[in-house]
């Protein structure tokens, strides 16, 4: 799973951009789920679509958060290796 996350174009973006996109997706997911539940409580079947979209957006938000975490970890490892190579000379 780690290779799939790191090979995506999203992983090439700065971590703060990915984190911002994940936060927006998470907010939209919660809004959509809330709207869907309200619609379902009012006996409207359209609420199923809103809840489904909200769950999908939530999965995307978690995936983007994982990408941001992996990107930050890989950047930190690179910086530590670079720092160690300079200090060893």
Domain encompassing residue 48: 2-87
- Which residue, among 31, 22, 32, 30, has the nearest Cα to 53 in the 3D structure? 32
What is the tens place of the pLDDT at every residue in 13-43?
777 777 888 888 899 999 999 999 999 999 8
How far apart are alpha carbons 23 and 26 in whole angstroms?
A: 5
Q: Is residue 6's pLDDT more than 60?
A: no
Mean pLDDT of the chain: 78
Q: What pLDDT shows up at residue 30?
A: 92
Number of domains comprising the chain: 1
Residue in the block written with tokens 């998470």: 26
The pTM score is: 0.67
Look at the alpha carbons of 55, 61, 64, 70 in this order and tell me if their dihedral is positive or negative: negative
* pLDDT-based confidence at residue 78 (cuts at 50, 70, 90): low
How far apart are alpha carbons 67 and 22 in whole angstroms?
A: 10
């Amino acid at each position: 799973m780690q290779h799939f996350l790191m090979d995506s174009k999203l992983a090439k973006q700065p971590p703060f951009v990915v984190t911002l996109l994940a936060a927006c997706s998470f907010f939209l997911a919660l809004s959509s789920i809330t709207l869907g539940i309200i619609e379902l409580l009012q006996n409207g079947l359209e609420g199923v679509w809103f809840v489904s979209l909200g769950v999908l957006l939530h999965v995307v938000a978690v995936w983007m958060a994982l990408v941001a975490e992996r990107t930050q970890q890989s950047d930190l490892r690179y910086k530590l290796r670079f720092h160690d190579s300079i200090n060893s000379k």
